[in-house]
Amino acid sequence: MGARGSHRVVGTFRPQSYRLVALDAETLRPKEVTWQYERDRQSVTGHAFLDTQPYERLMVGSGKQRIVLNPSNIIGNFPALCALRNDGKPHAWGWAENGGDPPEEIKQLTDVVEISSSMAAFAVRRATGHVMAWGSSENPSSMVPDDIAALNDIVALYGGAYVFVARRSSGQIVAWGLEQTGGRLPREIAELTDIVDAMGAEFAFAALRGNGQVVAWGDSRYGGELPEEIGTLRDVVQLASAGDVLALRRANGRIAVWGNPTFTPIPSEIAELDDIVDLVGNDSAFAARRANGQVVAWGFLPGTTPPKEIADLTDIVHVTCTSSAFIALRSTGQVVAWATGQVALLPSVIRQLTDVVAISTNHEAAVALRSNGEAIAWGDPETGGDSTCVAPLLTHVRAVYGGTRTFAALREDGRVIAWGDAHKGGTGEQKALYQLISYAEKAAP
């Protein structure tokens, strides 16, 4: 259970880690299984798994029982949602002019393997290695330049607010969109052949090389230029962003940040830590999960530092965020939250839960997915925090995907239920997708 992720930055809504969990069908308790990406040779064992390659088929097995989780099914930009059907067709809905109504040549595709989003556009990667995009005419990322459209070796897409970055099988990257925020690559970066990941911030992009080095481009004031002490690192394993600041996690468990010079520096007690295993940023702060199950955080706004009752916890297994709040999942199945915004104020129905297995978020709302398949929302009611209108349908849910002001739940029976801002796709059951999209399939014997 749990949503597979996406490589995108939508406004102040940041990429984050996505946690999947395996449950025993009868007891609904966590179950040890093996997890292996279809193209990988190695597998890992555990009841939970951080999904770092959401557009790869993921094999999950226990004994003779094996299923395959399909690549990430649904993604949102600010005004719309887009789903990837089992037959390779994209299906979008929401604000038509901003991606909710694809052009006919996009609707006719049957070989889409990945969807990414920018602020008001979508891009798709085809099995042929080509990319196409559509959306707002005012967002330059909606128009793929001819030289990039001609490429047939694209293997991954990364969305920024106004920029898309595509990684080629050669390890090179290409970019298009607003030049000032990363849409134009410096020659020395365009010539690199060992890029393995990329991350967008509000006004800049960073990419991770196979040798553990980071490169950056875009607005030099807000992350597009690396400080010398960061540019010389050779052990970076994760990138994160928060507004106009970028951050990294090193193999030694330490972290570093760069970008807006007015951003709060890493407090010394956090900078000295060497056991950080995950890093997530909202629009003004970062939170880091430690190997001992504790969480630390820092940033611009009051309330960013977790209160003592949360800071003292040693059983946190996942941390996620909205634009202004952080939410943590405990190994007990309980949820805690802090910082600002309505999501930070947990309603009693959420505080009392002890069987939460996954948390999904959007700009200002969150959803707790219980082991019994029930999904419960809270936060800003206008952006999906009130799911009353669809609550009877939020059962047997396998995953909940966050747009910016909407949510979409994928049920075990193939029904897709959307709620939140109706103008941006939160219009209830999407009957056009009924049984055309599935979370998993049985593995071939």
Q: Residue 103 domain-assigned?
A: yes
Q: Which CA distances in Å does 355 have to 332, 375, 439?
A: 7, 11, 21
- Looking at the structure of the chain, the number of domains it has is 1
- Name the maximum alpha-carbon separation found in the chain: 57
Expressed as residue numbers, the domain containing 131 is 74-185
| Whether the predicted pLDDT of 386 surpasses 80 | yes
Per residue in 202-260, pLDDT (tens digit) is 899 999 999 999 999 999 999 999 999 999 999 999 999 988 999 999 999 999 999 99
Q: Residue 420 domain-assigned?
A: no
Let me know: does 435 contact 413? Beta carbons within 8 Å: yes
Long-range contacts of 331-338 (CB under 8 A, 24+ apart): 331/293, 333/357, 333/371, 335/359, 335/368, 336/310, 337/366, 338/297, 338/303, 338/306, 338/307, 338/310
Per residue in 307-338, pLDDT (tens digit) is 999 999 999 999 999 999 999 999 999 999 99
We report the CATH number of the domain holding residue 180 as 2.130.10.30
Q: Which of 270, 280, 274 is nearest to 252 (CA)?
A: 274
Q: Residue 312 domain-assigned?
A: no
Band the pLDDT of 263: cuts 50, 70, 90: confident
φ and ψ at 436, to 5 degrees? -105, 0
Per residue in 396-422, pLDDT (tens digit) is 999 999 999 999 999 999 999 999 999
pLDDT of residue 103: 98
Q: Residue 60 domain-assigned?
A: no
Taking the C-alpha atoms of residue 177 and residue 184, their distance in angstroms, rounded to an integer, is 8
For the ranges 162-166, 199-203, 412-416, the lowest mean pLDDT is seen at: 199-203
Taking the C-alpha atoms of residue 402 and residue 271, their distance in angstroms, rounded to an integer, is 31
Taking the C-alpha atoms of residue 116 and residue 156, their distance in angstroms, rounded to an integer, is 9
| Whether the predicted pLDDT of 8 surpasses 80 | no
| Whether the predicted pLDDT of 156 surpasses 90 | yes
The distance of Cα 212 from the centroid of its chain, to the nearest Å, equals: 22
What is the number of alpha carbons within 13 Å of residue 281 lying toward its C-beta? 31
pLDDT of residue 12: 43
What's the predicted TM-score (pTM) here? 0.95
Per residue in 41-66, pLDDT (tens digit) is 999 999 999 998 899 999 999 988 89
Q: Residue 290 domain-assigned?
A: no
Q: Who has greater pLDDT, 443 or 88? A: 88
Per residue in 15-41, pLDDT (tens digit) is 567 999 999 999 999 999 999 999 999
Taking the C-alpha atoms of residue 15 and residue 44, their distance in angstroms, rounded to an integer, is 23
Let me know: does 113 contact 154? Beta carbons within 8 Å: no
User: H/E element holding 310?
Assistant: helix 308-311
Give 143-183 as a DSSP string: S--HHHHT---EEEEEE-SSEEEEEETTS-EEEEE-GGGTT
Measured distance between the N- and C-terminal CA atoms of the chain, rounded to whole angstroms: 22
pLDDT of residue 443: 75
Per residue in 338-367, pLDDT (tens digit) is 999 999 999 999 999 999 999 999 999 999
Q: Residue 42 domain-assigned?
A: no
User: H/E element holding 105?
Assistant: helix 104-107
Per residue in 68-82, pLDDT (tens digit) is 999 999 999 999 999
Q: Residue 65 domain-assigned?
A: no
The distance of Cα 185 from the centroid of its chain, to the nearest Å, equals: 24
